[in-house]
Amino acid sequence: MNAFDDYKQRLFGANYVEEAYDVVNPLTRSPETVGLARDLLTALISTESGGRLEALCGSPDEWFNFAVTAARIDHTTAQQRLLDAALKAHPEDVDLLCERFSFEYFHGSIAGASTIWQRIADLGEERTAPYWRYWSYRSLFLARYLHDKAGAWEFLDRARQYVIPADLLNIFRHYRRILVDGAVNPAAPAGDLTEYEYLADEVQKKYREGLELGIENGYVLATELAMLLRERSAGKPKEEADQDLDHALELLDEAERLYTKSDNHPIVSIYIEKAITLMARRRYADALQIFRSLPSHRFDESMQVMHNYAAHMTGQPETVGAPDGRGGPGYGGDQGGRLDQIENRLDQLERLLAAIAEQAGLLTRQPE
C-alpha cells in the first residue's frame, strides 16, 4: 500500500471532523507533503466518496479549523465544500457564516456574498455583535467591493461597543485594510475618504488608540504602524522622512516592550522591520548588529544584500549566513574563515605582548 492509500484509508475511516483534520493538517506543514494533503482533500470532497464529507460530525470550531487548513494550501474548492458542510450541520454559527461570506466575496461573486450577508443580518445584532469577524469582514466588503469607505469606517467604529478586549486587535488591524488598502471609488466626491495622506493619518490615530488601550498583542499594531510610517516616508524631503523613520523606530522599540513571548508571535519579525527601517535611516552599524543576530534561515537574497551593504558602509567583513541556523551573517558562517581570523588575532596578541615585555626589560629578543 502506497502513502496515499494509507492516508486515504485513515481519512475515510474517520467519523469525526477532528479525526479527519488530524490526518490532513500535519501534511500541510511541509512542502514535501502538501501535494499529498491536496490529493486527500480532493478525494474527501469527491462525489465518488459517497457523501463521506457530510457524514463527519464535529463542532463549529473543528469545522472552521479544517476549512482554514484547506485555505492555507490554496485548495479553494475544498475550503468551500468544508464550509458548506459545516453550515449544513451548524446553519446559524456566526463565525462559520462570516467565513463563508468572506470566501464568497473573495472567490465567488458580490451577489453571492450579499445573499450570505442577509443570512447573517437576519440573525440580529444581539447574536452577531460580539463576534469580531462580523464587523471586520463586513467593513472590508463595504470598502473594497462596494467602494464605501465612509460606511465601512462607521461600521467598524461601532465594534468597540460589543467586541471583547481580547479580540480588539482584529478590529484595529482592519482600519488599514479598509482605509488605506483596496480600491477607491472613482465616482466619489473630492475629499470623500479618498486622499491617501488623510486616510493614513486616520489609520495612525486608530492604531495609536489601540495601543493606548493596552489591547492584547498590541505589539502587532505597533509593528504595523511602524511599517506604515516607513512607507509614508517615501518621496518626502529628507528632514520629514527622517522624522517618520525615527517615529517608526520608536514604535518598534515599543513593540519589543510589548512582546508576549508567545511561540505564535515570533519577535524575529519585529527585528527584521527594525533592521530595514535602520537601513532607510542610514544607521548602518545599528542595522548590521540586528542582521548578525537574526537566524540565517530568515535571510532571503534582498536581506543578504542589505546586510552586505551595511557591512561595506561600516568597514565590516561581508560573511554568509550560518548553514546550521545558529545565527545570521557573521555568526557561525564560514568556520574556516573564522578560525583564520582567530589565529591572526592570537598572532597579533603574541607580538604585542612580546613588544611590551621587551620594553619592560623582561625579555631579550633573539636576533631574527
Look at residues 201, 160, 159 and name the one whose alpha carbon lies nearest to residue 180. Answer: 201
What one-letter code names the amino acid at 307?
H
Residue 22 falls inside a structural domain: yes
Are residues 46 and 128 both part of a single domain?
no
Please, which pLDDT band fits residue 345 given cuts at 50, 70 and 90? low
Residue 226 falls inside a structural domain: no
How many Cα neighbours within 13 Å face the side chain of 229? 30
Residue 219 falls inside a structural domain: no
Mean pLDDT of 104-121: 94
Evaluate whether 201 touches 176 at the Cβ level (below 8 Å): no
Residue 260 falls inside a structural domain: no
Are residues 4 and 78 both part of a single domain?
yes
300-307 contacts at long range (C-beta below 8 A, 24 or more positions apart)? 303/272, 303/275, 304/329, 306/275, 306/276, 306/279
If you count them, how many residues does the chain have? 368
Residue 315 falls inside a structural domain: no
Look at residues 282, 280, 321, 281 and name the one whose alpha carbon lies nearest to residue 299. Answer: 321
Predicted pLDDT at 196? 73
Are residues 82 and 10 both part of a single domain?
yes
57 strand-pairing partners = 16
Please, which pLDDT band fits residue 193 given cuts at 50, 70 and 90? low
Look at residues 199, 125, 132 and name the one whose alpha carbon lies nearest to residue 165. Answer: 132
16 strand-pairing partners = 57
- How many domains would you assign to the chain? 2
Q: Is the pLDDT of residue 332 over 50?
A: no
Q: Which segment of 10-14, 84-88, 215-219 scores lowest on mean pLDDT?
A: 215-219
* 162: Cβ contacts below 8 Å, ≥ 6 apart: 125, 129, 130, 135
Q: Is the pLDDT of residue 329 over 70?
A: no
How many Å apart are CA 56 and CA 24, to the nearest integer? 14
How many Å apart are CA 288 and CA 266, to the nearest integer? 20
Whole-angstrom distance between the N-terminal and C-terminal Cα of the chain? Answer: 77
Residue 176 falls inside a structural domain: yes
User: What does the block give as the cell for 114?
Assistant: 450579499
Are residues 82 and 128 both part of a single domain?
no
Chain centroid, CA 266 distance in Å: 10
End of a domain among 159, 182, 211? 211
- Taking 3-state DSSP, the helix, strand and coil percentages for the chain, each rounded to the nearest 5, stand at 70, 0, 30
Q: Which segment of 244-248, 260-264, 328-332, 355-359 scores lowest on mean pLDDT?
A: 328-332
Predicted pLDDT at 365? 45
User: What does the block give as the cell for 214?
Assistant: 493596552
Please, which pLDDT band fits residue 330 given cuts at 50, 70 and 90? low
Q: Is the pLDDT of residue 366 over 50?
A: no
End of a domain among 91, 112, 144? 91
Predicted pLDDT at 271? 92
Greater pLDDT, 64 or 191: 64
Residue 254 falls inside a structural domain: no
Its domain, for residue 155, covers 124-211
Are residues 147 and 203 both part of a single domain?
yes
Residue 9 falls inside a structural domain: yes
Q: Which segment of 88-92, 320-324, 330-334, 352-356 scores lowest on mean pLDDT?
A: 320-324
Q: Is the pLDDT of residue 168 over 70?
A: yes
End of a domain among 211, 236, 270? 211
